Structure 1
């Protein structure tokens, strides 16, 4: 089981200096340069997945505002949505609440040639559901006991399973939540549940720590990323993801544009159409 260092005074999860702790925030120019390079590697990984029928499942969990959505966007913005599929399930329906807990997640697991990214996952039961009282303590303990076996079955079926926990400090979380309050572009991200969760920092720390103790296994370990610097955190995660997938770039295609047809016998009147306004 992987070891995690904890800062007992404030519930922060301490990570290695190589993850960006104590470094100045990354500049946009450096970030864009590194991200462009990593995007090329993600495309190479995508082509390998398609060619080999590999199955990859990536789970993102973490503190509110830790940057799960931004990281997922950085991973997926240059690859095919037919290969990379993001799963962000809403609250369960009455029917789903009556099912076996894992049942609603199983249909979304990857088939051959798929990369499935869970923006929050079955670990809701170990986090928000537990802390906010949406499930009983008995249900939480049953879940924590069942997870290693379920994830072993997923891995044994040939899925590459990667689980990431994104961590921010109390001060950074406060700053990001305040920026959502004051920015009309971000206010939609701030839910009533986020506000209730904000007051329960230590309850979430306790839930996180127990989740690590019981579900960090040799076949499905947790990987922790410091995302106090969003840019640095995204690059570290993508780099780590690539290093844990045994892809090999396929030979480059020899592509030559064909000649276009000549205009003879293809002249015709363009019918009237409506053009959009051009204020810019």
Structure 2
């Protein structure tokens, strides 16, 4: 397995480190991390046993595949700092929202294999989807190495770079969206029926967990599960009718707003 570098040990960098180790696809000694503030780096190093780099450049020098896990506003500064360390054989994989492979190559100043990944918080439980996109010069063996890492912590899906933002909304942002839907469903039941909030939250949470298991193990499509529970004209069927009549507009509005935000962030890199 190649040596891995992680630049940035905020929530994204820590999630990748913990998940790679938890899945046993990597040993702690195969990961080197760096961070702007030493305190966060020391915490994750003491927790997991990974190696600490004295600088971002040191992390790159000691690694074959480098994951860039910094906030968008710091991406250009960090890439400018490490670009002369991105020597032959090294690959830069960005988890930075809406930072294109073309812009990374421009900042590096020469042709270096680069890729993008949009992980999901669900990788903390070694599940969910990681969205991958590769540039045109990365060879198949290197793509397989990166894909193998994410196969251990999620289901990796490779998409054209033009589609990565859309897939990030339905794969990476969706845990928050789904939790938001569950919260509003529970709150509506409390308002309408006068239920106790904690009990309503528990019922919705358990129903969702059970539904996820049914979809994973017993039903190949959403419609097949709906058909087994909701008879036409029955109580559940009436609820499904309301969802079909109203939810499309809600989700279209939501995706319109997330798309606007993606474009706004992308503009900052131009």
Q: TM-score, normalised by structure 1?
A: 0.25
The structure that has the greater radius of gyration is 1
Could you say which structure has the higher helix fraction? 2
* Structure of higher RCO (CA pairs closer than 8 Å, 6+ residues apart): 1
